[in-house]
């Protein structure tokens, strides 16, 4: 894992996100129609290891009754690499966002899985 990933300096926004509360402190993300995202799990884009909750920071914002934005950074303690997080959670259980590896926007169904694990399963082909 991590092949072909270009490293770059942290942006000002990523530095700001690192100073914010943990994403786990902002869960569950609940919508009126009883859809719920109970856990946000992040993986390092370099080594593919799960990043401890205490090192996954940022913010969750309800944009409207049907959509919440998740913006954050997951800092791997082993690699010292910051993986950006930029996703939208939808009340029907879908997740949309940019791939950590390709940057391309996509939409996935994730009602019964943790958000980042599901996305990484699809995008990074985790076993």
Chain segment 36-80, per-residue pLDDT in tens: 888 888 888 888 899 999 999 999 999 999 999 999 999 999 998
Distance of CA 53 to the CA centre of its chain: 11
Q: What is the pTM of this model?
A: 0.76
Least confident interval from 6-15, 50-59, 76-85: 6-15
Query: Across all residues in the chain, what is the average pLDDT?
Result: 81
Q: Predicted confidence band at 16 (pLDDT cuts at 50, 70, 90)? A: very high
Q: Predicted confidence band at 126 (pLDDT cuts at 50, 70, 90)? A: very low
B/e letters for 15-45, b = 16+ CB within 10 Å, e = fewer, are eebbeeebbeebbebebeeebebebbbbbbb
Q: Predicted confidence band at 94 (pLDDT cuts at 50, 70, 90)? A: confident
Least confident interval from 48-52, 81-85, 97-101: 97-101
Structural domain boundaries in the chain: 12-123
């Amino acid at each position: 894992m991590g092949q072909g990933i270009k490293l770059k300096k942290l942006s000002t926004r990523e530095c700001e996100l690192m100073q914010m509360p943990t994403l786990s402190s902002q869960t569950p993300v609940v919508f009126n129609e009883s859809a719920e995202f109970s856990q946000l799990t992040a993986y390092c884009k370099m080594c593919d290891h799960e990043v401890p909750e205490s090192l996954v920071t940022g913010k969750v914002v309800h944009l409207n009754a049907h959509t919440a934005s998740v913006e954050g950074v997951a800092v791997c303690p082993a690699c010292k690499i910051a993986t950006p997080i930029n996703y939208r959670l939808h009340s029907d259980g879908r997740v949309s966002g940019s791939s950590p590896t390709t940057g391309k926007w996509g939409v996935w169904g994730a009602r019964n899985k943790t958000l980042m694990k599901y996305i990484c399963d699809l995008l990074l082909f985790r076993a």
